[in-house]
Amino acid sequence: MKRLFIGFLVEPSFIESRYIALRNEFENCLSGKWIDLNALHVTLKFIGNFDEERISLLQNALCEHLQEYRESFQLRGLSVFSSLGQPNVLYIKVSDSKSFLKQKATAIEKVCSDFGVPAAKREFVPHLTLARIKSVNSSFYELLHKHKNTLFSVVSFYTIAIFESLLTPEGAIYLKIN
């Protein structure tokens, strides 16, 4: 079994300077684990544990989706996912005016369901996770508000692929499945 997701890595050059600035800005108001710059990605479908012998079948079924794209989108505005009223994920919103990523996620979800992968429990929200949050102080919300509409980058190309997610104490490692 391998822990899989379908998505794409965001080329570090698209976001590096803004990412470093955000880490510095949030340094004194966020306690948690920042995602490594080279591991920043957008997940279109989290699969979870999947039988290794069936990965090539899944790849074949998804072949029309697993490719390079030149559909641009913006990384604009900060937000959080919360649990029980407490923020637990800091992310940059993906602004995709043509809803291309939502359409891709829907199509990929349908193919995965044919392989017995459970449907997502929540509506698809395209985002780029920056940090997993343990705790915040009051100035966190001021910075969140300050950046609610900030344009961080425009991403103009990316390659959708299947990734294996290896969990380590230092953070997840993402390996593209070829």
Q: Which is it for strands 73-83 and 68-69: parallel, antiparallel or unpaired?
A: unpaired
84, pLDDT greater than 90: no
Ordered domains of the chain (ranges, CATH): 2-176 (3.90.1140.10)
* Six-digit token string for 144: 């969140």
Instruction: Tell me the whole-structure pTM to 2 decimals.
Output: 0.93
The torsion angles phi and psi of 67, rounded to 5 degrees, stand at -160, 175
Model confidence pLDDT, tens digit, residues 16-41: 999 999 999 999 999 999 999 999 99
Q: How many CB atoms lie within 10 A of CB 160?
A: 20
| b (16+ CB within 10 A) / e for 86-117 | ebbbbbbbbebeeeebbebbeebbebbeeeeb
Q: How many angstroms separate the Cα of 139 from the Cα of each of 62, 80, 105, 136?
A: 44, 15, 35, 8
Q: Which of 101-105, 119-123, 133-137 has the lowest mean pLDDT?
A: 119-123
The sign one gets for the Cα dihedral 77, 132, 88, 166 is positive
Model confidence pLDDT, tens digit, residues 141-171: 999 999 999 999 999 999 999 999 999 888 8
Nearest 5°: the CA angle 69, 174, 63 is: 40
* Six-digit token string for 35: 């995602």
